[in-house]
Structure 1
Amino acid sequence: MSVQQIHSFAAGQWLAPGAGARQIASAITGEVIATAGNDALDVQAMLGFARDTGGPALRQMTFHQRAKMLKALATHLHQNRQAMYDLSFDTGATQADNLIDIDGGIGTMFVIASKGRREMPDGHVYLDGGVEQLGRTGQFLGQHICTPLQGVAVHINAFNFPVWGMLEKLAPTLLAGVPAIVKPATASCYVTEACVRLMLESGLLPEGALQLVTGGLGDMLDHLGCQDVVSFTGSADTALKLRSNRLLMERSVRFVAEQDSLNASILGPDSVPGTPEFDLFVKEVCREMTAKAGQKCTAIRRVIAPAERTGDLIEALSARLGKTVIGDPRNEATRMGALVSDAQRRDVLEKAAILGQEATRVFGDPDAFEVQGADAEKGAFLPPMLFHCADPDSALRVHDTEAFGPVSTVLGYRDLDHAVALANRGEGSLVASVITHDPEVARHVAIGSGAYHGRIYINDRVSMKESTGHGSPLPHMVHGGPGRAGGGEELGGVRGVMHYMQRTAIQGSPDMLSAIGNRWVPGATEIPAPAHPFTRRFGELQIGETLHTEPREVTLEDIEHFAEFTGDTFYAHMDEEAAARNPFFPGRVAHGYLLLSFAAGQFVMPDEGPVLANTGLDGLRFMQPVVPGDRVKVRLTVKAKTGRTEEYGEVRWHVTLTNQDDAQVAEYELLTMNAY
């Protein structure tokens, strides 16, 4: 077998392994399959290339352009993922594991791209929150904005997910407009290198947007500053060592960490044998023990169940684990492959021995188990190992030692408060779960345990068919956790993008805020519409373009007709005496929705034109009642524009209704789709 040379991509060049290169062995056979690492990398040149070339190119693009780039990258990776599958088997991963890592990473990139198009502007400034009125008349305002950091993101990733671990960090980083230097764990870096090659060869990325280090970073962290970010996934010991870098602390370099996590799953007291929840719990635990051979940061390490049911649970778990086929991950029949390396296998055995000081192994013998299609002596194989701790209250190591492999420990609880206390003994985790059909049990766990966990996963017979599982971080939701888990947060949709942007408070006049955010702010200068706005195409409309309508009188006959026609005969519209007794009304008043209908009649252009559809309204408020005889007029202003497809874009209109005294009676934002 030829030994593959795993290159780094530094300052625009692919560099072969050099001084300090390490050998990488197949997890299946133990044979050396690759070498990686080069201590001669010019880290300052790499940082300069990212900051001076990649950063400006990315920041020149809008959020939507970067989102389209991510979607195209994800599409390209999806079309070429077989090459990554073929390599990934040597990490010990089965095809099911590959779907989690490779397809999961690509799917994450698709979601972040979609979030960028739907939830971020087609511009260079992200508005965070609403406008704050800081002065009495509304001429001095405040607004929080987010802009890309002007440095580089250094991503240090773990061995267990060589593709997902990279893409879940890379997607929000690139969407923010920040270049990245990716450093995968050496043990599986050959899969990451293949993914990076695919992205770079696609021609979709600006020069300098992505670089790769397959080996050590050298002194790169010593050269980072306040515009840079370090995002780390790995052990708590390594995270502490990196965090403690004096220069990182001195320069306030952002540091995002996802580290050790003794995740727990609680079997609800209602989930007795014979219920769908009990069977689901057994399935979830076994899946988390065997997927990726238990090498998941979100895997269930502590199985917390009612003390009186631990025997039934251990019996059910043992029966299911006993059906797990361990072997060559390339074989379709294999359900659990090898650990990533023999070093990792030894580490798991050492940690299992520590657990064995406080718990009894009730399933899985690492000295006697069967491996299908591979040599157990040469590969990094282990069986699933289940422990039982009879006294979880006095135990210490069960709550602070993570055997990062197919290892879990069953703990019995007396009551639900005890279960919550045991889950919290982990001092912070990425995820805790509770399997219950009782909403009160779920509420009790969420309130009692939420502060200790980044995610709480609840499942039962209702959601089980759609749920993605205890161990599946989703790009829509925050991934991270407090305390032992590192205190960091990743993903969470647009929240994940914010790690690579600076939140800045902008203060000034409405015109200043409108110009900076490219979004019209009430009080800013209005641009007289050169023609009716509904006759103007998406590309012709200007932010701030405004139409003022003629007033329309609201009569008692209008109110009564609307009530009869719609069936809305609420007393405030129909009974003068009853309405007068209401503290909000002087007497009979017009329906709010009648006013909206009149407003549409005042500004809508009836002829066929570039307005294709009214897709809704946001922020509707009624400020003052309208009584018969009032005269209502409308101001319609282009507030914001967002491209959606090549054929049309979304226009957000700011609409205000005022009466004959110029008092504002209603306000909302109208959304339409307009042709280009």
Structure 2
Amino acid sequence: MQQIKSYICGEWKSGEGSETELHNAITGEKIGSVSSKGFDFAEILNYGRTTGGKKLRKMTFHERGRMLKALALYLLDNKKKYYEVSAWTGATKSDSWVDIEGGIGNLFANASLRRQFPDLPYYVDGDPAMLSKNGTFIGHHIMVPKEGVAIHINAFNFPVWGMLEKVAVNLMAGVPAVVKPSSVTSYLTQVVVEDIIASKILPEGSLQLVLGSARELIDSVTSSDIVTFTGSASTGLKLKSNPVITQNNVPFNLEADSLNAIVLGKKATPDTPEFAIFVKEVVREMTTKAGQKCTAIRRIFVPEELMDEVQAAISARLATTTIGDPSVEGVRMGSLASPDQVKEVREKVEELMKSQKIVYGDMDEFDVTGAEKHIGAFFPPILFRNDSPFEKLDVHSIEAFGPVSTMMPYKTIEDAIELTKLGKGSLVSSIVTPCNDEATQYVLGAACMNGRILVLNEECARESTGHGSPLPLLAHGGPGRAGGGEEMGGMRGVMHYLQRTAIQGHPTTITAITQVYQQGAKGTELDEHPFKKYYEELNVGDQLITEAREITADDIDQFAALSGDNFYAHKRDTDFTGTMFDEQVAHGYFLMSASAGLFVDSYEMNPVLLNYGIDNLRFTKPVYAGSKMHIRFTCKEMVPNDTTPKEDDPKTLIKRGIVKWLVEMLDEDTEEPLVGFATILTMVKLKDQSEK
């Protein structure tokens, strides 16, 4: 039997012998085998650290983001072959779409995060801390890529998504990966990795693939590495308790299968749209991927007075689900991933049958379309009913990882919350209700035991991504049984692969390190107005000190008349006794407008395309008539912007960057002159405007 090769240390390599034979989940045909026997795992990890890691760490976040976007586009162009192989896993076309294009979508989503990071290999986190009275000693935080390898041990149910949603994050952070997929469906992962390596988009050593057993892989990790595991809680805890993990304090993210719940709100009666939405969501989560999802609904909580109606509605909808070969027209649910999974799910169903009753489905009597029931890994939807959920507790601890779920009654929303918590921690739960008060009560009560909560109603159902869909921009994970971990979550996910370090020093030194101008740092005064410079001609710290402008009472009156802002503090005839002010005060927004008049060079066309925003605008002291104000205008930060095609010439690209300027408003006649500050954002041309 042909062995499916791993990609390690820069080459495709077979292990010794045949550890695991792989079969088509629909037809039972042999696909090949996998083995990692004879692999030097320490060498594999070291190769990632020294070859891939060094190259990735030299790249900026923007370069890494563009790399991920290019990879996503490349995989989309090749997706047809992935769908063909995905069908071997028992997945329908819609199941495969979630796995394949959902995974590629993670690449796109993480690529877009580059706009939230600097064009540097590292990230400056948060705001500076002022550590001294005179501002000569400050603190800040930077985050640099860890100099290890991300080791991803993935489950069988999402062989593409499971890999791409994780590697997208570590690659964005500048950390290489070693992916160890579940053997059962690893042949699909291998097809995708084969294309990734062939594309040469990633630096060599950025991605390695180990097929077969992961035996000594964990034994070779160091304190610089990161391990993630997706799968059963028992296996995850066994790996997490490895002495190498604990002794070296290796970050270990565990995402375990959990007993996720859905609640039908008491206000979602059969005459509301939410009732039908609830039934549809339950059935979809039972049958998508044949229930083989870590986020699938295992527990269904229903107002006790609606149990019979909900049971009838779910059963009727399940009866329309055709099981069989996904390539056959009309088949809505495929098979489980393997005969071993069928055996395991059957055993769990039999355990659950001891304390609750099956009200829909039969493990032995069910129809299969286009395939042989006992050759393929088929299993029918099973709906249980448990009328005593506070007494018959097996349902809150036993999970059948297939199309199996249990209905249970509750009296009050407080009861529904407590029943949800009996699962001891979940990745996700949902409540379907038209009542926002009911939704609020449930969310605030159940959030402590859920990593994510979906609130579903008629208003959002059409565009909702559903109960079972983790999203790359939201955190994925959950407490307790769900593993206690967290991944994805946009920028939050990337930061799991970065080391946060506090730095202290003079503002000028911290500016040099962070490449972000810190207040109090020495600037570089320019002879030429900075707005006359192209993006690449500017540097962080470039500074303009403007002439002064006297703020007069007439200015304040005229701004009040023009803007309509006649707040009492801006009027001359106000009695200021007992107020915070001594006399008529200039409007803060007038000061900002006057500042623009001082720092904007408006006499001729220049490289500044537009001003598109103000951040962190603050007014720190009142400014009275007669004050003389000038501006210290400093280049604070520079971030490149993606090129955009010209409308009349799509072959010519406009190249531009975003420049953030610190505006400090200074009153010349006071001991502490700073009266306000802001950051303005300008879009600036690059000198070379064409790129054919």
Q: TM-score, normalised by structure 2?
A: 0.96
Which residue in 2 is equivalent to 1:599? 595
1:640 equivalenced with 2:648 (yes/no): no
1:3-22 matched pairs, under 5 angstroms: 5-22=3-20
Number of residues of Structure 1 aligned to a counterpart in Structure 2: 672
1:361 equivalenced with 2:358 (yes/no): yes
1:342-491 matched pairs, under 5 angstroms: 342-491=339-488
Which residue in 2 is equivalent to 1:586? 582
Q: One-letter code of the match for 2:80?
A: Q
- 8 Å contact from structure 2 (residues 449, 480) kept in 1: yes
Which residue in 1 is equivalent to 2:661? 653
The 1:361–1:251 alpha-carbon spacing in structure 2 relative to 1, beyond 3 Å, is same
1:113-151 per-position Cα deviation (integer Å, ceiling 9, x unaligned): 101x21111102212211111112111111121111101
- 8 Å contact from structure 1 (residues 19, 40) kept in 2: no
Which residue in 2 is equivalent to 1:553? 550
- 8 Å contact from structure 2 (residues 15, 39) kept in 1: no
Q: One-letter code of the match for 1:675?
A: K
- Which of 330, 334, 339 aligns to 1:333? It is 330
Report the Cα offset of residue 5 of structure 1.
3.3
Report the Cα offset of residue 475 of structure 1.
0.5
1:310-355 per-position Cα deviation (integer Å, ceiling 9, x unaligned): 1110000000011001110122311100000010011111111111
How many Å separate the matches in 1 of 2:2 and 2:18? Answer: 16
- 8 Å contact from structure 1 (residues 424, 452) kept in 2: yes
Which residue in 2 is equivalent to 1:76? 74
Report the Cα offset of residue 570 of structure 1.
2.1
1:37-186 matched pairs, under 5 angstroms: 37-115=35-113, 117-186=114-183
Report the Cα offset of residue 575 of structure 1.
4.8
Secondary structure of the 1:146 match is strand
- 8 Å contact from structure 2 (residues 15, 38) kept in 1: no
Which residue in 1 is equivalent to 2:684? 674
How many Å separate the matches in 1 of 2:64 and 2:433? Answer: 42
How many Å separate the matches in 1 of 2:329 and 2:519? Answer: 63
- Which of 275, 278, 286 aligns to 1:278? It is 275
Q: One-letter code of the match for 2:684?
A: N
Secondary structure of the 1:585 match is coil
Which residue in 2 is equivalent to 1:300? 297
1:589-616 per-position Cα deviation (integer Å, ceiling 9, x unaligned): 1111111111111110112111001110
How many Å separate the matches in 2 of 1:171 and 1:470? Answer: 23
Q: One-letter code of the match for 1:332?
A: E
How many Å separate the matches in 1 of 2:132 and 2:35? Answer: 59
Which residue in 2 is equivalent to 1:25? 23
- 8 Å contact from structure 1 (residues 292, 337) kept in 2: yes
How many Å separate the matches in 1 of 2:444 and 2:381? Answer: 32
Q: One-letter code of the match for 1:669?
A: T
- Which of 540, 543, 559 aligns to 1:543? It is 540
How many Å separate the matches in 1 of 2:532 and 2:415? Answer: 67
Q: Among the aligned pairs, what percent are the same residue?
A: 47
- Higher mean C-alpha deviation, range 217-226 or range 365-374: 217-226
How many Å separate the matches in 1 of 2:613 and 2:282? Answer: 44
How many Å separate the matches in 2 of 1:30 and 1:514? Answer: 63
How many Å separate the matches in 2 of 1:610 and 1:276? Answer: 55
Report the Cα offset of residue 581 of structure 1.
4.2
Report the Cα offset of residue 393 of structure 1.
0.3
Report the Cα offset of residue 584 of structure 1.
2.6
Q: One-letter code of the match for 2:407?
A: V
Report the Cα offset of residue 582 of structure 1.
6.1
- 8 Å contact from structure 2 (residues 65, 112) kept in 1: yes
How many Å separate the matches in 2 of 1:636 and 1:5? Answer: 65
Report the Cα offset of residue 534 of structure 1.
0.3
How many Å separate the matches in 2 of 1:478 and 1:457? Answer: 13
Report the Cα offset of residue 442 of structure 1.
1.0
The 1:635–1:414 alpha-carbon spacing in structure 2 relative to 1, beyond 3 Å, is same
Report the Cα offset of residue 21 of structure 1.
2.9
1:615-630 matched pairs, under 5 angstroms: 615-630=612-627
How many Å separate the matches in 2 of 1:557 and 1:582? Answer: 25
Secondary structure of the 1:6 match is coil
Q: One-letter code of the match for 2:252?
A: F
Secondary structure of the 1:645 match is strand
- 8 Å contact from structure 2 (residues 549, 629) kept in 1: yes
The Cα RMSD (Å) is 1.1
How many Å separate the matches in 2 of 1:387 and 1:291? Answer: 18
- 8 Å contact from structure 2 (residues 427, 452) kept in 1: yes
How many Å separate the matches in 1 of 2:439 and 2:567? Answer: 40
How many Å separate the matches in 2 of 1:55 and 1:439? Answer: 48
Secondary structure of the 2:518 match is coil
- 8 Å contact from structure 1 (residues 430, 481) kept in 2: yes
How many Å separate the matches in 2 of 1:262 and 1:443? Answer: 22
The 1:381–1:135 alpha-carbon spacing in structure 2 relative to 1, beyond 3 Å, is same
Q: One-letter code of the match for 1:101?
A: D
Report the Cα offset of residue 583 of structure 1.
2.6
How many Å separate the matches in 2 of 1:31 and 1:314? Answer: 38
Q: One-letter code of the match for 1:329?
A: P
How many Å separate the matches in 2 of 1:30 and 1:576? Answer: 91
Q: One-letter code of the match for 1:213?
A: V
Which residue in 1 is equivalent to 2:648? none
Which residue in 2 is equivalent to 1:562? 559
Q: One-letter code of the match for 2:266?
A: P
Q: One-letter code of the match for 1:661?
A: D
Q: One-letter code of the match for 1:445?
A: Y
How many Å separate the matches in 2 of 1:249 and 1:266? Answer: 38
Q: One-letter code of the match for 1:129?
A: G
Q: One-letter code of the match for 1:584?
A: M
- 8 Å contact from structure 2 (residues 3, 18) kept in 1: no
